[in-house]
Structure formats: C-alpha cells, structure tokens
Amino acid sequence: MNSIDDRIRAILNEETRDIDLLDQQSVAADLAQVWQGKYRLLWRLAAVKWLFAVVLGIVSIYQFFQQESVMAMIAWSCLLVLCGITLATIYVLFWISVSRDATQQALKQLELQVALLLASQANGDSDNLTALQGTRTEKQP
C-alpha cells in the first residue's frame, strides 16, 4: 500500500513542475473576469445602481443636516440606511461572483490533475503531459 502512495506522490510532483497549480491570478484579473463573464450586462446594471446609491447617499447626508424638523431628519436618515444596504448587497454579490469564478478555476485544475494521474497510471509511465496538453482549456480574454 505504501509503494502506490509513493508512486502517486512521485507522479504528482513530476507533473506539478509542468503545471503550476499555485498559479493564481491577481485580484485585478479576478475582478476583470467578472465584468467579462456571462452576466456582464447584469454587473453593468449593478454598477449603475451602485453609482446611483452613492449619489443618493451623499444627497441624503447633505439634506439630513439641512433639515430643521425631526420628521424630515428621520426620513433622510432612513434613505441613507437604504442606500447603505444597497451598497453592501452589491458588494457581497460581487464578492460571491469572484469567489465562484476562483472555485471553478480550482476545480478545472483539479480535474486536469486527476486526468493526468489516471492517464499515467493506465499507460504505466509518468510523462503524459504532452498527450494531454490539448485537453487543457486556456482562459479566453
């Protein structure tokens, strides 16, 4: 049982020299990937909503300090709270989307490693990287 574990470790160590699993994208590249993805129109609409909420929040702060009645102050402060909730919601949804893309990338790298391991076990050698290089999908710009 120990010899097969050693063989698996040796194959994985050899293959990871050719395929760097720790090659992570920068944060800027992850953020740009969200804007170029499948739901780019929805994210553009979310950006417009975000901008509108920021402007409305600034106006609410200004109007809050200009009011003399307590009722008007409460109304403007409630609007400011709603703007804050909107901003927080957009940030959370955006972060979830970035996290989901990173998880999908990690799963694809894991699938490639498993395919390489299975192919090397089936052929009895540990140099199948060139045979499976065509199956690796590169990210489209």
What pLDDT, in 10s, does the model give residues 9-57? Answer: 777 666 565 555 445 667 777 777 777 777 788 888 999 999 999 999 9
If we measure between CA atoms, which residue out of 124, 106, 118 comes closest to residue 19?
Answer: 106
Confidence at residue 90, expressed as pLDDT on a 0 to 100 scale: 92
What mean pLDDT do residues 80-86 have?
96
Q: How far is CA 93 from the centre of its chain?
A: 11
More confident call, 32 vs 93 = 93
Confidence at residue 124, expressed as pLDDT on a 0 to 100 scale: 67
Confidence at residue 33, expressed as pLDDT on a 0 to 100 scale: 74
Q: In which residue are the tokens 């417009």 written?
A: 48
Confidence at residue 59, expressed as pLDDT on a 0 to 100 scale: 96
Grade residue 104 by pLDDT with cuts at 50, 70 and 90.
confident
Contact between 101 and 107 under an 8 Å Cβ cutoff? The reply is: no
Distance in angstroms (rounded) separating the CA atoms of residues 114 and 107: 10
pTM of the model: 0.58
